Amino acid sequence: MELYTHILKNGIRLIHQPAVSPVAHCGILINTGSRDELENQHGLAHLSEHLIFKGTKKRKAHHILSRMEDVGGEMNAYTTKEETCIYTTFFNNYYPRAFELISDILFNSVFPQNEINKEKEVIIDEINSYKDSPVDQIYDDFEEMIFNSNPIARNILGTKESLNSFSRSDIINFYTSNYPTNEIVISSIGSLSYNRIAKYFTKYFSDIPSMQKKSPRNKYDYNLYNSQSKQESKNTYQAHCIIGNQAYSNKDDKRFVMHLLNNLLGGPGMNSRLNMILREKKGLAYNVESNYSTYTDVGIFHIYFGTDKKDLNQCLNLIHSDLKKLRGSKLGTIQLSRAQRQLIGQIAIAAENNENQMLSNGRSILLFDRIDSLKEITKKIETISSKDIQEISNDILIPHQLSSLMYC
């Protein structure tokens, strides 16, 4: 895999990966998300991401929305707890258009008051849609329960009350204080040569004034965690349940073992242990999965399933029984080899999606200032032993450390 990097004097970094395709992908990733909000700023990062599409010094909102669409391209954005991203897909010959537009909307937004008023209502509708979907809401509620008082606990969207409290100056102050140029990465995958990409990158991003500071994040304290079990009454046909624990950060070497354990338990494969037990053998659940998410100083692991309310306790007993097996005995050689091959194969297949790979490249540069090759990742996974998996199981899957949240 060929990779080219470049850094401007203002600190903005470029990562470009050549690809044989008529279609290109590029995105700008910023190391700022909802976790960087103060308590009275809940929802500002996500609101700001929406508003950068609503007008710049030289473009109205409809001009921004049409700029890539008019040439058959697409543009989107997202906010996570630690990251903001704007990304676009287009034919290779429109690289200058894409770079210029991304630069304009990120650094020249004017936040018109009428657009602020409209977008607040749009996000309130988004919040209400989450409340109508227990599968979505339970994840946010579980993270709030796990991470307690840390800013990482709060959901990304904010609340109706917090959104309505923000003034235009609040938005501008947050935006100008939280997007340092040394924590911005442009990621690109396309067929143009690196020299041409670097030329466009320099043209549209080198004049951006340097900003090297932002307020430090409130560090997560593992010792503040206490396991909890909550049950909420919901008017739903199914019972929804999450079981989980705090886990390893994206800087912890144990994360590789945790990723393998997560994939083995409830990853996307239909042959995951929990899917085989709850769905294939017992027919108790349509959807059962586990997820492991990492942040800069903490992670979270959880198992989710939905089932008929009368089957809730049986599902819980089956899950805890399987977790006990993982804690009590090592995987056999064949089981371990299958699990490793499956995860390596999934990573290789995911890398075939150029948009996903572009975002992954950018995120790796943003967090680690490097990108591991598939060969390097494979080596790390293949060195994981059955003993490693058992030790991690006994660290993360201990019954008295697991929290649970049930909608029923």
Q: What is the tens place of the pLDDT at every residue in 112-141?
A: 999 999 999 999 999 999 989 999 999 999
Structure tokens at 67: 């700029």
Whether 286 is in a domain gets the answer yes
CA distance 164 to 175: 17
Domain identity same for 252 and 182: no
Whether 213 is in a domain gets the answer no
User: What's the confidence (pLDDT) of residue 217?
Assistant: 84
Task: Return the closest-CA partner of residue 146 out of 91, 221, 83, 78.
Answer: 221
Average pLDDT of the residues in 366-382: 96
Domain identity same for 341 and 227: yes
CA distance 73 to 67: 9
CA distance 85 to 32: 9
Cβ atoms within 10 Å, residue 5: 16
Angle between helices 333-351 and 354-368 (to 10 degrees): 100
Domain identity same for 330 and 385: yes
Average pLDDT of the residues in 274-295: 97
Query: Phi first, then psi: what are they for 271, rounded to 5°?
Result: -95, 15
Whether 231 is in a domain gets the answer yes
Domain identity same for 194 and 275: no
Domain identity same for 374 and 281: yes
Structure tokens at 168: 């235009």
Domain identity same for 253 and 380: yes
Q: Is 56 helix (H, G, I), strand (E, B) or coil?
A: strand
Between the alpha carbon of residue 18 and those of residues 2, 3, 190, 253, the distances in Å are 7, 7, 5, 30
Q: Is 5 helix (H, G, I), strand (E, B) or coil?
A: strand
User: What's the confidence (pLDDT) of residue 216?
Assistant: 80
**239-273: per-residue pLDDT in tens?**
999 999 999 999 999 999 999 999 999 999 999 99
Whether 215 is in a domain gets the answer no
Structure tokens at 383: 């060195």
**157-213: per-residue pLDDT in tens?**
999 999 999 999 999 999 989 999 999 999 999 999 999 999 999 999 999 999 987
Domain identity same for 319 and 390: yes
- Return the residue matching tokens 């929804």: 240
Instruction: Band the pLDDT of 215: cuts 50, 70, 90.
Output: confident
Among 175, 205, 235, the domain boundary falls at: 205
Instruction: Give the residue numbers spanning the domain of 150.
Output: 4-205
Domain identity same for 227 and 194: no
Domain identity same for 358 and 267: yes
Instruction: Band the pLDDT of 218: cuts 50, 70, 90.
Output: confident
Whether 131 is in a domain gets the answer yes
Domain identity same for 65 and 157: yes
User: What's the confidence (pLDDT) of residue 273?
Assistant: 98
The helix (run of H) or strand (run of E) holding residue 206 is none
Domain identity same for 260 and 199: no
Task: Return the closest-CA partner of residue 156 out of 249, 48, 241, 61.
Answer: 48
* Cross-strand partners of 5: 15
Cα 207 from chain centroid? Answer: 30
Q: Are 29 and 83 in contact (CB under 8 A)?
A: yes
Cβ atoms within 10 Å, residue 371: 19
Residue 405's identity, in one-letter code, is: L
- The CATH number of whichever domain residue 310 belongs to comes to 3.30.830.10
Q: What is the DSSP string of 288-349?
A: EEEEEEE-SS-EEEEEEEEEEGGGHHHHHHHHHHHHHHHHHSPPPHHHHHHHHHHHHHHHHH
Domain identity same for 135 and 259: no
**287-318: per-residue pLDDT in tens?**
999 999 999 999 999 999 999 999 999 999 99
Cα 162 from chain centroid? Answer: 23
- Return the residue matching tokens 């290779």: 92
Domain count, the chain: 2
CA gyration radius, the chain? 22
Structure tokens at 215: 């307020």
